[in-house]
Chain A
Amino acid sequence: MNSFIKRRQFIAGSTVAMLLLTAPERAMAFSVENAKKLIGRVVADINSIINSGKTEAAMLRDFEQIFVNYADVKWVSQLVLGADGRSASAAQKAAFAKAFQGYISRKYGKRFREFIGGSVSVKKAKAIKSFYEVTTIAVLKGEAPFEVVFVVADKNGRFIDMKIEGISLVKAERTEIGAMLDKRRGDLDQMIADVKKAG
């Protein structure tokens, strides 16, 4: 069996939830160094939370706080909506962004306990077209170290995806949201209503 089902990918997926929505201060001319610094701050926040010794519920709140403070929900939710998002009205887009924020924090937040006692560190960063890929290594208890790549947009210096051993959170969630939409015969409003309850 291949390792695609490995827990660690999901573990890292949990971080994604909060992290990819992290949006730091704006910077017009972003650079590899800035991208690296940005993810360095994100990773430092994660590390302090997962080693804080707080209860799971408290850690969840802390993670949600990162999420709330730096959230770039609008952009990421648009990426997740993909082609379907283009037909959505402004109101629907906003409603989805809100629903998605709650959904993703519930879905991945549940798994943060698997991070306890671990650490994440930034390894390298490189520019690709109008993006930066910042590679980090996560070392969790009882697991072989694994790679988590953050995708940072040059446009505004926010990060817009996270790939755990090659698995893109945006793509995974786009598949999920797309499937939900199909099941509801393309009814955006119904999908949004259900996303609010899912996760």
Chain B
Amino acid sequence: MFRSDNFFGIVIVFALLAACAGPDVASGIYDPLETRNREIHEGNRKLDKHLVGPAADIYGTGIPEPVRVGVNHFASNLGEPGTVVNDILQFKLGSALHNTARFILNSTVGVGGIFDPATNMGLESRPSDFGETLHVWGLKEGAYRELPLLGPSTTRDTVGMAVDFFLDPVGLIIQTPERYVTTLASGASRIGDRYRFDDTVDSILYDSADSYAQARLLYLENRRFQLGQGHNEIDDELYDIYEEFDE
């Protein structure tokens, strides 16, 4: 059950967790690695322009929508056990039950996860990840990071992603060659998302004056919203300017 790469995973986790220290930046942008991040961003942009974007077009136009939706459901269903683990680690037992029920329903009635009958029955998707677990445990966001291929993240979310990868129950149980199927599904699902949100991605990556800054802002704002760090002081300052305006 315990593979050797788990060990390296744990080492990475502790190394990165140490890096989570830093100022409390719940309300602003903390980006000490900006120079490096921007280089990675340029790489990601080129990758999207020449490879991921065109591949998404081929996938999106070549594969009928119902099939693409099925692939997305299948991939996200496989993530459900990992979500349950995180729910438990966050002491959200209601969500753990909710997501367990989703997994069982969708794996059976939903034909191996291709369909999502759970949502129609009132069990809506309620995703979580280890980045959120770290947040619940009181860890700070850390620095903003743009990761090669994976895109915008923070120190805390990068650690979370690594932990999710190494401790994924499905990944631990399923061996090759079935493993290739799950990897392929999640890859296809992401390519599908790139196609679905094509206009949005294009407007951020290619139409904005500073795509790095735009992606950074959108990621941080949306992530904080997901984690319930919603209301922040920066917003108040933002709107306080309004008070200064003359009629």
Contact = CB atoms under 8 A, between A and B. Distances in A.
Given A165-B225, A166-B230, A182-B210, A4 B219 contact: yes
A2 B152 contact: yes
Contacts of A168: 221, 235, 238
Given A1-B150, A9-B200, A153 B239 contact: yes
Contact of B221 (A1, A7, A171): A171
A4 B152 contact: yes
A46 B92 CA distance: 37
Interface stretch (A51-59, A60-68, A173-181): A173-181
B238 A10 contact: no
Nearest to A194: B209
Interface string A129-154: 11101000000000010000001010
Given A2-B152, A167-B218, A168-B221, A7 B242 contact: no
Contact of B245 (A9, A78, A182): A78
Interface residues of B, number: 41
Interface stretch (B15-23, B172-180, B190-198): B190-198
A196 to B, nearest CB: 15
Interface string A66-92: 000000000100110010000000000
Given A7-B197, A176-B214, A78 B239 contact: no
A165 B199 contact: no
Contact of A79 (B208, B213, B218, B242): B242
B218 A172 contact: yes
B125 interface: yes
B243 A5 contact: no
A138 to B, nearest CB: 15
> Do most interface residues of chain B lie in helix, strand or loop, or is the interface mixed?
helix
B231 interface: yes
A7 B200 CA distance: 6
B223 A4 contact: yes
B219 A2 contact: yes
B239 A179 contact: no
Contacts of A48: none
Contacts of A180: 209
A131 B150 CA distance: 37
A153 B231 CA distance: 16
B135 interface: no
A183 interface: yes
A179 B199 contact: no
A144 B124 CA distance: 9
B226 A166 contact: yes
Given A10-B200, A155-B242, 10 more contacts: A3-B222, A6-B200, A7-B200, A78-B242, A79-B239, A79-B241, A151-B235, A153-B242, A176-B210, A179-B209
11 contacts: A1-B150, A2-B222, A4-B218, A78-B245, A79-B241, A111-B199, A129-B236, A165-B226, A166-B222, A167-B218, A168-B235
Cβ-closest 7 pairs across A and B: A166-B225, A179-B210, A179-B209, A4-B222, A180-B209, A10-B200, A7-B197
